[in-house]
Amino acid sequence: MTARTLTPRALLLLGVLTLIWGTNWPLFPIAMREISVWTFRACSMTGAGLMLLVIARARGQLLDVPRRHWGTLLASSFCYLVVWNIASAYSTLLIPSGQTAVLGFTMPLWAALMAWGVLGQRPDGRQIAALVLGGLAVCLLMWPALDSYAKAPLGFALGIFAGLGWAVGTLILQRRPIGVPALVLTGWQLLLAGVPVSVGALLLGDHEWFVPGWQTLAVVAYITVVPMSLGNLCWFAIVGMLPANIAGVATILVPIVAMVSGAIVHGEPLGVLEFAAMACCAGALSLMVFRQRRQPARHAASAEQ
């Protein structure tokens, strides 16, 4: 069996990531009622990065990153964390948060195409079927929102741009892996990405000093500690365990959770199309899991011969 397959640990991390990131999307509009996108992201990213590096140091891990990896670290941090976080946050202000999640999570489609063209990770028949099901789920979720996209084309464009940035950042790490613990890698990624975002907050964000309300502070604190810190830690661990195309497909349940969360929190639509999309996502993930279960059996049979 190859080392980079869908193991039980990877499945557990994906389950945690799905819940953390899926329930995160409806909180964005609440967090940005009083503060700008740039201020919100600067606080959450910088705070999360510092927290993870402090935890890593407390656990006895070295924080040093070899000099030869700094170019990769900076490029992946910018493409994924800066582009993704700013574009997706602005998109949620223009279109429903659940729809932004759907657009952003077209990432598996872009990642699979780029991984094939750049890394030579050609998808097999089962992966292609999973991508088709995932793409169908995205189309089903996008269909009711076409009117919203027509009224706010910038929101649509930013959602797609966020997914592209995420895919490029992931592939950079896949092509040039950085041999440091996931906790250290995630901390540095968030901290480095927080620098240009903090500059943006000073230039483009809030120009009046004030203390936001308790609800805003609570939501920003939660997003910093849970989705930003723990969620990205899970994601970078997954990226180190799986090929980009499989890691991307395995996250397609996140927008489903985001849609359900958006319906509960903001009363966003949830009907037949959304449930059909859930079935497609479940089918796509089942194909990936079934593929993983058959591989050990095939290798075991080879070993016996």
Contacts of 191 (CB under 8 A, 6+ apart): 45, 46, 49, 50, 53
Residue 140 lies in a domain: yes
Give the per-residue pLDDT at 138. Answer: 74
In a domain, 3, yes or no: no
Asked if residue 106 is part of any domain, the answer here is: yes
| 95 or 294, which is more confident | 95
Q: Per the domain annotation, does 235 fall within a domain? A: yes
pLDDT at site 288: 64
Digit-coded pLDDT (tens) for 3-25: 455 677 877 888 888 889 888 87
Asked whether residue 2 is assigned to any structural domain, the reply reads: no
| pLDDT exceeds cutoff 80 at 97 | no
Please check whether residue 88 is in contact with residue 99, taking contact to mean a CB–CB distance below 8 angstroms: no
Per the structure, the count of domains in the chain is 1
pTM check: above 0.85: no
23-32, 106-115, 117-126, 192-201, range with greatest mean pLDDT? 192-201
How far are the Cα atoms of 9, 77, 131, 135, 274 from residue 156, in angstroms, in the given order? Answer: 34, 23, 21, 16, 19
Looking at the domain assignment, is residue 195 inside a domain? yes
Mean pLDDT of 153-178: 88
Domain containing 68 equals 8-206+213-304
